[in-house]
Amino acid sequence: MELALSIGWLAFVSWLILRACTQRDLFPVVRPEEATRDTLPRITVLVPARNESANLARCVNSLLDQTYPSDRLKIIVVDDHSTDDTFEIAASIARDRPQLTVIKSSPLPPQWVGKCHACWIGARTASSDDDWICFLDADVIAEPELLSAALAVAQAQRLDLLSLTPRQRLESFAERLVIPCGLYLMAFSQDLATVQADHSDKVIASGQFMLVRRSAYESVGGHAAVHDAICEDVRLALRIKRAGGQVMLQDGKALLSARMYTGWSSLWNGISKNLVEMLGGPTATLITSALVLALSVATLLVPAIDGISCAHGREAACIALIPALLGTAAAFGLHIAGAVYFGIPFWYGLLFPLGYAMGVCLALDSLRRRWRGKIVWKGRTYP
């Protein structure tokens, strides 16, 4: 019994590692050298911002430093009723930069999510001559070649929506503990080859960077069509894909970086607000949470059971201890490699069972919020 369990454990961990490597290979990296100056359509970058005084200046300045020709690039910051000095910061930068326009969002209509409203206002403010619209979160910092490279890829692959995942800047203990585990979970649970296929009725996208062909955006109704969505990025991408558009998520770590959260409070509220939707609904969330918790416990429990039995003289348990330890060592090795990849101390990889346990707590809290019927985010309450 011990031997079968241990071999099964080793086989399962090996499968997870193989799946993670396969997913990585399906996730192409967009690099600065892909930038081209051959075809230069007009583009407007829209930055919705609510209480982003700590991030906005770096974000906007990185956009103003783009290598993309200034006569074909406009930047619009939409202040979403900030209670800090977000608007003043953006306005002070705009005084000497004609590329940059700063506007205030009108009152939030009933049933609208603030970010969707700000994006919709920005899109309606953009020039009708623009060929592309880019939605960029205010906590993102862009490399100078970002827009040139992204547009080159979108045009070469004939995409209607290109979404890029940024390199995550993880500075607090909470971020370093939870976010790598969350990204691993997404890699384990989603089949990119299927989700990103043209025939698939599913989609994956990151709202931190979304480059959208204007004609495709307008044909599906833009953000007005997803005005009540907390996960507006996925909803909008899905509408474009279902309308026949080409949608793709790629790795933008060489072109942009982001720090989404600053500690436990912002991380907890930010992730739990839409984790149920990210995991596929309440039932899928409960199943995923149970499996994640069981596997985290198994990392320590399987070799512990074999070790105790071996210490009591059971020869079969001593043999079973070998694959059990190999499986657990492989699991720790995978997460240590992940810590190195994210540029954080390697020993965070040793804490991954705790990271997944916190993820389960986040999932349960997300379910609680869903059943309660209210989501609180950035000072607003949404149904």
pLDDT in tens, 79-138: 999 999 999 999 999 998 999 999 999 999 998 999 999 999 999 999 888 899 999 999
CA distance 102 to 129: 19
- Low-confidence stretches of the chain (pLDDT beneath 70): 35-39, 377
- Spatial contact of 23 and 337, defined as CB atoms under 8 Å apart: no
Residue 63 in tokens: 């956009």
CA distance 305 to 212: 53
Cβ count near 246 (within 10 Å): 16
Any residues with CB less than 8 A from the CB of 296 and at least 6 apart, and which? 352, 353, 356, 357
CA distance 282 to 293: 16
Q: What is the pLDDT of residues 214-226, one digit of tens each?
A: 999 999 999 999 9
Residue 345 in tokens: 């101390």
Q: Where are the beta strands (DSSP E) in the chain?
A: 43-49, 73-79, 100-104, 132-136, 140-142, 161-165, 167-168, 209-213, 247-251, 256-258, 375-377, 380-382
Any residues with CB less than 8 A from the CB of 167 and at least 6 apart, and which? 252, 253, 254, 256, 257, 258
- Spatial contact of 50 and 81, defined as CB atoms under 8 Å apart: yes
Q: How many residues does the chain have?
A: 383
CA distance 299 to 304: 9
Secondary structure (3-state) at 188: helix
Residue 363 in tokens: 């999932």
pLDDT in the model for residue 22? 82
Strands 375-377 and 256-258: unpaired
pLDDT in the model for residue 213? 96
- Provide the CATH number for the domain formed by 27-263 in this structure: 3.90.550.10
Secondary structure (3-state) at 20: helix
pLDDT in the model for residue 36? 67
- Angle 345-351-355 (CA atoms, 0-180°, nearest 5)? 110
